Amino acid sequence: MRSSANNMFDIVEGYRKRLSILGRNKKIIVLSADVTKASGADAFRGRFPERFLNVGIAEQNQMGIAAGLAARGFIPIAHTFAVFATMRACEQVRTTICYPNLNVKIIGAKGGLSDSHNGATHHGVEDLSITRAFPNLVIMNPVDARQAGEAIAAAVRHRGPVYIRLNSVSLPQVSSGVFKIGRPEVMRKGSGPIVFIGTGDVVYQCLRASDILQKGGISTSVVSVPTLSPIEKGPLIRVLKGARYAVTVETNNINGGLGSCIAEIISENGLATRLIRKGINNQYTQSGSYVDLLDKYGLSAERLVSVVLKLAGGFAPRT
């Protein structure tokens, strides 16, 4: 899991490239709430300006327009920031798009803590909790640039509403290249009793933590959950049955997000796994660099290692 500036890839860039290719489908119409470059819609605008609409900073109206276009047989892709897509336009997403099960794709850019310096007003750390409560809505949270491209391609193929959270950060490619809606991915199968279960950008932190722990003789498993709804429970149940501890990791409020999802699976299936939820601990976040915020909220690899060491009783790293 070593990385350098030469093998880091912008998650939004992966999305941007695939959307530009998908734009050859003349049913696709892209809408932007005045965040065209930040959300990855700019390449599409350059190639297909006749099917691009900038509605301005008017997300509620944007979702209404998208619903109307979907009702007429188009595939609208609405771009804004995650925090505004799921809160400012929450009623429109719920009632105008999800309730009639319309074929609208919603892109929530700057998800999680990735709009780091703009603070709590722009951190999208409640979106997964909110959208998990909406019937009919597919929720994707890609782990890297490759998977972001795969996510939008899968979203266009899927008939019905889709929400894609784009964590606007640069990370190494860690996904396998195989993406199926609803399917978790076992990224590392360890021999020990502890499993990290992550979603989105912090899956990379789980893998880094697993590397550090391995050097000290502690083997951990790592599972990525790129789709929070729907979700194939079978693979997760099998992993959890073999684990004494599960540590969920997400840049979302621990209430209602991935941690809650795994808690539901554990309780509903009578599993004995002890769950430790790492995320935003039901608090408003502060501004700062992305790296510093991950560390502050216990989501950096180093902080995750500390969690496991408390469970495992510590180790002396091998040199």
Instruction: Give, as one character, the DSSP assignment of residue 111.
Output: B
For residue range 169-184, list pLDDT tens digits in order: 999 999 987 899 999 9
Kind of pairing, strands 185-188 and 162-165?
unpaired
- The mean per-residue pLDDT over the stretch 58-64 comes to 97
Is 90 exceeded by the pLDDT of residue 4?
Answer: no
Query: Torsion angle of alpha carbons 312, 313, 316, 318, nearest 10°?
Result: -10
Distance CA 294, CA 277 (A): 15
Helix (H) or strand (E) holding 31: strand 28-32
The domain total for the chain is 2
Domain boundary among 148, 171, 194: 171
pLDDT of the residue at 295: 97
For residue range 126-170, list pLDDT tens digits in order: 999 999 999 999 999 999 999 999 999 999 999 999 999 999 999
Is the distance from CB of 109 to CB of 16 less than 8 angstroms?
no
pLDDT of the residue at 315: 54
- Residues 195, 274: one domain? yes
Distance CA 116, CA 112 (A): 9
Helix (H) or strand (E) holding 310: helix 301-312
DSSP string of 34-103?
S-TTTTT-HHHHHH-GGGEEE--S-HHHHHHHHHHHHHTT-EEEEEEEHHIIIIITHHIIIIIIITTT--
pLDDT of the residue at 268: 97
* Per-residue CA distances from 45 to 39, 48, 147, 162, 169 (Å): 12, 5, 22, 21, 22
Residue 180 lies in a domain: no
Write the CATH number for 165: 3.40.50.970
Is 60 exceeded by the pLDDT of residue 319?
Answer: no
- Residues 141, 192: one domain? no
Residue 291 lies in a domain: yes
Using 50, 70 and 90 to split pLDDT, how confident is the model at 318?
A: very low
Question: For residue 151, how many C-alpha atoms fall within 13 Å in the half-sphere facing its CB?
Answer: 36
Domain boundary among 147, 171, 195: 171
- The mean per-residue pLDDT over the stretch 212-222 comes to 95
For residue range 251-305, list pLDDT tens digits in order: 999 999 999 999 999 999 999 999 999 999 999 999 999 999 999 999 999 999 9
